[in-house]
């Protein structure tokens, strides 16, 4: 419930970033990486995590971390990498499953448009780049109310036949409460007939990694230079594949080795990520070029992404991009 005076946006909420927030009268740090990755049982200041938390608490600084949430949305971390590399036709590399539901309901034909609009406004009916998606079919519904009812149409105690529409639409599971509230508010019946089905469909807007295509076909050497320049990285570790041409690219900010097989199945020529171990590089097996550009380097543009988003949503709010380089790694060249 605290009132926010200003925010510092950073990749990591380190002690130096908290000090920066204090100097600039900002009482909120918005970071991609959490400062706490496991439970804390004491605050003695013995390490950088405890020191950061102590300093934040003493100075009433709130720390907000987005991490995996921002990794798994269409306009998140990976979209920024794709943008910097000028990739086109981008898609989620590994979409999430079991996050979608289908709602089927029945209502009088005269009220169908009102119900549809309410469901759409609540967030139902989005498929890819399309919204307000539904399937509708006419039919006859029957019902009979007892003495405690006050039916919208028909008479209590008598079977009634009504010309109804069957409305089918999908929605993400986390919106279910809002969707059902909209259904109840817009539907004329006392007792609303509806069914909810779990779907096995992958949700293309949510998931790990991203694929895209370059404007032209690159040689591997030219693409390496393009990546180094576009992502401003000092060094790239990669697996050479002789004669490899680059057109389709898969990316994953941060530690993305778990997506290698997805990148291969997607037909990517190159997989750009970070935190690859020595033996993992062998897993490319000549099928794909694995490029490790560094963890910080792959996610550094997340700061700009968050700052731009906040400035758009809150144009009069004080948002600062951190001036602290939180990369714990320095390269000797």
Residue 126 has a pLDDT of 94
94-104: per-residue pLDDT in tens? 999 999 999 99
Residue 276 has a pLDDT of 97
Residue 295's closest CA among 38, 26, 81, 20?
81
pLDDT band for position 305 (cuts 50, 70, 90): very high
Please check the confidence at residue 303 and state whether its pLDDT lies above 90.
Answer: yes
Residue 230's closest CA among 85, 108, 133, 119?
85
What are the DSSP E strand ranges found in 55-120?
62-65, 88-96, 100-108
CA distance 215 to 79: 16
Residue 38 has a pLDDT of 85
Residue 318 has a pLDDT of 87
248-290: per-residue pLDDT in tens? 999 999 999 999 999 999 999 999 999 999 999 999 999 999 9
Mean pLDDT (whole number) for 242-250: 96
Mean pLDDT (whole number) for 111-122: 98
Please check the confidence at residue 146 and state whether its pLDDT lies above 90.
Answer: yes
Supply the pTM of this predicted model: 0.86
Please check the confidence at residue 42 and state whether its pLDDT lies above 90.
Answer: no
- One DSSP character per residue, 115-130 reads HHHHHHHTT---BTTB
27-41: per-residue pLDDT in tens? 999 999 999 988 888
Please give the helix or strand (H or E) that residue 56 lies within, else none. Answer: helix 48-58
Please check the confidence at residue 129 and state whether its pLDDT lies above 90.
Answer: no
Please check the confidence at residue 333 and state whether its pLDDT lies above 90.
Answer: no
Residue 166 has a pLDDT of 98
151-199: per-residue pLDDT in tens? 999 999 999 999 999 999 999 999 999 999 999 999 999 999 999 999 9
Computed over every residue of the chain, the mean pLDDT equals 95
Instruction: Provide the Cα torsion 300, 306, 311, 312; round to 10°.
Output: 120
pLDDT band for position 128 (cuts 50, 70, 90): confident
More confident residue, 229 or 128: 229
Mean pLDDT (whole number) for 231-251: 96
């Amino acid at each position: 419930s605290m009132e926010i005076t200003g925010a510092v946006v950073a990749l990591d909420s380190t002690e130096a970033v908290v000090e920066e927030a204090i100097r600039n009268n900002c009482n909120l740090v918005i970071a991609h990486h959490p400062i706490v990755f496991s439970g804390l049982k004491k605050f003695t200041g013995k390490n950088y995590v405890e020191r950061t938390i102590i300093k934040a608490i003493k100075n009433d600084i709130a720390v907000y971390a987005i991490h995996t949430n921002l990794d798994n949305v269409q306009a998140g971390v990976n979209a920024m990498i794709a943008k910097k590399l000028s990739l086109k036709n981008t898609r989620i590399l590994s979409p999430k499953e079991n996050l979608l539901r289908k709602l089927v309901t029945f209502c009088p034909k005269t009220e169908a448009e009102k119900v549809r609009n309410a469901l759409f406004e609540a967030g139902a009916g989005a498929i890819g780049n399309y919204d307000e998606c539904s399937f509708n079919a006419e039919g006859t519904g029957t019902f009979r109310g007892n003495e405690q009812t006050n039916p919208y149409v028909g008479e209590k105690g008598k079977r009634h036949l009504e010309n109804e529409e069957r409305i089918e639409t999908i929605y993400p599971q986390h919106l279910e409460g809002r969707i059902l509230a909209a259904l109840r508010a817009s539907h004329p019946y006392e007792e609303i007939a509806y069914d909810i089905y779990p779907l096995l469909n992958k949700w293309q807007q949510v998931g790990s990694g991203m694929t895209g295509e370059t404007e032209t076909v690159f040689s591997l050497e030219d693409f390496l230079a393009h990546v180094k320049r576009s992502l401003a990285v000092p060094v790239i570790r990669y697996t050479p594949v002789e004669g490899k041409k680059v057109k389709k690219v898969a990316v994953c900010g941060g530690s993305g080795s778990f997506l290698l097989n997805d990148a291969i199945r997607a037909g990517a020529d190159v997989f750009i990520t970070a935190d690859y171990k020595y033996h993992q590089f062998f897993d490319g097996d000549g099928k794909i070029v694995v490029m490790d550009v560094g963890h910080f380097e792959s996610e550094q543009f997340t700061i700009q992404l968050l700052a731009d988003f906040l400035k758009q949503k809150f144009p009069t709010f004080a948002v600062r991009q951190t001036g602290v380089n939180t990369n714990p790694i320095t390269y000797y060249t």
